[in-house]
Amino acid sequence: MSFRTAGPFHPLILDDVRGAQKMLSGVARLTPMEGSRYLSRLVGSPVHFKCENLQRTGSFKLRGAYVRISGLRPEERAAGVVAASAGNHAQGVALASSLLGVRSTVFMPVGAPLPKVAATRDYGAEVRLQGHVVDETLAAAQEYARDTGAVFIHPFDHPDIIAGQGTVGLEILEQCPEVRTIVVGVGGGGLVAGVAVAVKALRPDVKVIGVQAEGAAAYPPSLAAGRPMSIETPTTMADGIKVGRPGDVPYAVVEELVDEVRTVSEDALSSALLLCLERAKLVVEPAGASPVAALLSDPGAFKGPVVAVLSGGNVDPLLMQRILRHGMAAAGRYLSLRLRLPDRPGVLATLLGVLSTADANVLDVGHVRTDPRLGLTEVEVELHLETKGPEHCTEVGAALREAGYHVIG
């Protein structure tokens, strides 16, 4: 099945998304909706999570990939498909192709996380590692398509992809009919465009709000200019939404139907991921946590009930470790200090005693004796502490000053 050709302003209609929903029956999971008491108190009205991090392959990407590949003609299927991705789209294309009996080749950057590479192979794709950035990987995949005749499956810039992602919106209206605001992470725009097509057709009163990382926010300047604009070197921990230019097809929908596109900081992203893990017991990648970051950053701006789409949960364990530490620091629960002490026996033990009395948990201690800024009898000590929050950080600092210590950083 293939949907109608995109027009300049209304690329898709509700029937396209409903057709995709029928196609995905028995393929994509009806992912659960979970309430968040913490965010509900913060926002002042009910907040629910649409848990696409629990979808097959760990993200919503299977939906669009399956619909797109299902719509290929027999001769196109016979030629196989090719995609370029650092993770979620790769896995969605790999599984969709396997389910449909289509050969798939997926190009991934050389530095792609090993768990994502392994998962893509396990879903049945031939993986080729090429390029050090996604643009190089994308170019390699498109060259492969030209050379072999394989069909290139774009991650967001195609009506079939958007229609498949739009089924998330239909499910939200079924699971939470009282919803007033839906918050969605935005990279190229396929998911938020699909959700907007479905939701605005059935419930035009519901606000659809997109969220981008501050360092990879191509939509605000594009919407201001009235056309898709590129940004140079997008930078964010949220690799799932690190896209330098909106897709032409989703841009037309976003411009017409999405109420607002907000941006969030890296601190907000890491704090949101930590909240999902601790409070909701959900593993969510930074891109998937971006709607939660928006709610944390400006809770009074969202009319409830609110549904935040947790779009994916594929996060590299090593990256997770770094993000959690960053999130703890942003939440005031991880404190780094540097102090200069006399270099003699017992001084460090005395310092640790002060920290113990202040109920700070010492995670790591580092000594520097060779810095030219230090005196002959001085040592610089770097401490990494686990604390209970911003107020406790203030209390720890006060306890150190009261004991006569001078914190230099």
Could you list the active site residues?
61, 311
Phi-psi region of 296 (alpha: psi -120 to 50; beta: other; left: phi over 0): alpha
- For 72-117, give the DSSP string: S-HHHHHH-EEEE-SSHHHHHHHHHHHHHT--EEEEE-TT--HHHH
Query: Which residues are bridge partners to 365 per DSSP?
Result: 383
Please give the helix or strand (H or E) that residue 381 lies within, else none.
Answer: strand 378-386
For residue 209, which phi and psi values (nearest 5 degrees)? -120, 125
If DSSP codes are grouped into helix, strand and coil, which group holds residue 239? helix
Which DSSP letter does residue 303 get? P
Q: Residue holding tokens 């629990």?
A: 54
Q: Please work out, in degrees rounded to the nearest 5, the angle formed at the alpha carbon of residue 195 by the alpha carbons of 191 and 200.
A: 150
Q: Which of 227, 249, 188, 229 is nearest to 60 (CA)?
A: 188
**Rounded distance between C-alpha atoms, residue 310 and residue 292, angstroms:** 8
Count CB-CB contacts under 10 A for residue 139: 14
**Rounded distance between C-alpha atoms, residue 350 and residue 337, angstroms:** 16
**Rounded distance between C-alpha atoms, residue 363 and residue 189, angstroms:** 41
Pairing between β-strand 306-310 and β-strand 260-264 as defined by DSSP bridges: unpaired
**Rounded distance between C-alpha atoms, residue 406 and residue 139, angstroms:** 54
